[in-house]
Chain A
Amino acid sequence: AQKITQTQPGMFVQEKEAVTLDCTYDTSDQSYGLFWYKQPSSGEMIFLIYQGSYDEQNATEGRYSLNFQKARKSANLVISASQLGDSAMYFCAMREMYSSASKIIFGSGTRLSIRP
Chain B
Amino acid sequence: KAGVTQTPRYLIKTRGQQVTLSCSPISGHRSVSWYQQTPGQGLQFLFEYFSETQRNKGNFPGRFSGRQFSNSRSEMNVSTLELGDSALYLCASSLGLAGLSNTQYFGPGTRLTVL
Residues of A within 8 A of B88 (CB): 43
Q: Judging by beta carbons under 8 Å apart, are B108 and A50 in contact? A: no
Q: Judging by beta carbons under 8 Å apart, are A101 and B103 in contact? A: no
What is the count of residue pairs linking A and B with beta-carbon distances less than 8 angstroms? 51
For chain B, give the interface size range.
Answer: 20 to 34
Q: Judging by beta carbons under 8 Å apart, are A45 and B90 in contact? A: yes
Per the 8 Å Cβ criterion, residues 4-28 of A in contact with B are none
Residue of A nearest to B94 (CB): A104
Q: Judging by beta carbons under 8 Å apart, are A50 and B42 in contact? A: no
User: Which of A43, A91, A102, A109 counts the most B-chain CB atoms under 10 A from its CB?
Assistant: A43
Per the 8 Å Cβ criterion, residues 71-102 of A in contact with B are 91, 95, 97, 101-102
Residues of B near any A CB (own CB < 8 A): 33, 42-43, 45, 48, 56, 58, 88, 90, 92, 97-100, 102-109, 111
